[in-house]
Each structure stands twice: as structure tokens, then as C-alpha cells.
Amino acid sequence: DTGVSQNPRHKITKRGQNVTFRCDPISEHNRLYWYRQTLGQGPEFLTYFQNEAQLEKSRLLSDRFSAERPKGSFSTLEIQRTEQGDSAMYLCASSLGVGADTEAFFGQGTRLTVV
Amino acid sequence: AQSVTQLDSQVPVFEEAPVELRCNYSSSVSVYLFWYVQYPNQGLQLLLKYLSGSTLVKGINGFEAEFNKSQTSFHLRKPSVHISDTAEYFCAVSPAGTASKLTFGTGTRLQVTL
């Protein structure tokens, strides 16, 4: 296993368009997280899944954002009607989620630029 | 709820000099504490973590950190830095018992020069 994989690495889109990002977690990990990181800031929690169930969503996750993890494996994050303020690095992470859940492993992120 | 304060946004240091990156946290519950490193246009890599037990934690690349409960601090140190340590460093906390829902500080840019 090569770790958490995110695609695409970079995405440039026009304002108002929809975009979708994909995250493939480490195979035996039950928990999957999405974070957003804007320039000069630390990552901020958006949402997380335990298997296919979305257990928590941050208030940062507006109605234009939707995340899914249909079979408890990979996850997608969709942003509808993108705005310039959505420009950020979107980070995915995964963790075991059972027993001693002590470390989250991060992917390399998807950098979104809305023009 | 938890919060993390990284007191220095940038820390310049000469190669082979020691460095300390400061982190203070606030929480009403017990926490796990983490330091992550981020290289340009990359994701986050875990340097070290404090879960319980010994307050001095050793991590990768020669880094260590000390948990101080009374001062609610978790400062990161390295006795001798290398050019390759130039990166952004993030302190983070999570509720004890889980690594989920990390709360991050705003980061400290470590700039190592010759």
C-alpha cells in the first residue's frame, strides 16, 4: 500500500463550475477525513466517515459541498457552483478507527484554484 | 472544543543550530498532541505524537517534543537543524482516544540557512 492517494493533484476551474475530487485511503483504514487548507493557515476539519457513514460535518461545509464514501473505500468531495473563496488545498486523511486510533495519515492534497 | 496557538509564524535559523517551535493548546478534555511537517505542495507527514505516559516524545528526523500539562504546551525541538528541515510545521490536537477531527495551529515556517 502506498498510502493515501488523492486525485487530481491540481484543478483549475471557472467560477460557477462543479468539481469533484477523489480520495483513496489506506486499504484497512475505516475512517476517512476531509480537511481544507487555505494559504497561510493550518488545515481545517470538514467532515469524516466511519466506513460508509458520514458521522460529522463541520459548519464550514456549506450546502454546495457534498462528500460520499459509497462502499466504505474511496471517497469523493464535490463542490457545486464554485466560488473564488473555495480556492484552497483539500486534504484527505485516513485512520484505523478501531481500537487505538492514534494516527491519521494524509494524502498529498488536491489544490483547487477558482478563476 | 480545542484550540491550538503557534506563537511564531516564522523561525529563521542557521544550519546546525538548535531550534524550538512553540505550541500551546486549550481543551476542556484530555487530548492527544501531534506535530506534522508539510513540504511545499505536499500533504502532511507525522513527526511525532503524545498519547500518554512519558512527557518527552521522540520522533523522526531527530525531532523531539515535551508535553507540559500545567503550561498546556507541546514545544518541538531539534538540537541541530539541517537545510532539509526547511518546511512548515503544524501542531495539532485531538480528543484523547481518537486521531480523528484534528484541530491545527496556523503553522510555523522553519527557514534554515547556511
From the list A40, A95, A108, which residue is nearest B99 (CB)?
A: A95
Region B94-104: mean pLDDT is: 84
B71-81 confidence digits (pLDDT tens): 999 999 999 99
| Chain A contact present for B36, CB below 8 A | yes
SS3 of A28-39? CCCEEEEEEECC
Q: How confident is the model at residue A101 (pLDDT cuts 50, 70, 90)?
A: low
- Residues of A within 8 A of B98 (CB-CB) are 101
Distance in Å, alpha carbon of B2 to nearest chain A alpha carbon: 12
Dump pLDDT digits (tens) for A29-78.
Answer: 999 999 999 988 999 999 999 999 999 899 888 899 999 999 889 999 99
Q: Give the contacts of A82 (CB within 8 A, at least 6 positions apart).
A: A13, A14, A15, A16, A17, A18, A19, A64, A112, A114
- Record the cell numbers describing residue B45, joined without a space: 507527514
pLDDT on residue A64: 96
**Beta-carbon pairs below 8 A across chains A and B:** 62
Q: Give contacts of A 53-92 with B, CB under 8 A.
A: 56, 91
Determine the residue of chain B that is closest to A111 in CA distance.
B41
Lowest-pLDDT range, A16-20, B19-23, B27-31? Answer: B27-31
B52 touches A: beta carbon within 8 Å: no
Pairing of strands B56-58, B64-68: antiparallel
Q: How far apart are CA B52 and CA B49, in angstroms?
A: 9
Residue A113 is inside which H or E element, if any? strand A110-114
The answer to whether the CB atoms of B107 and A41 lie below 8 A apart is yes
Distance from CA of B34 to the nearest CA of A (A): 9
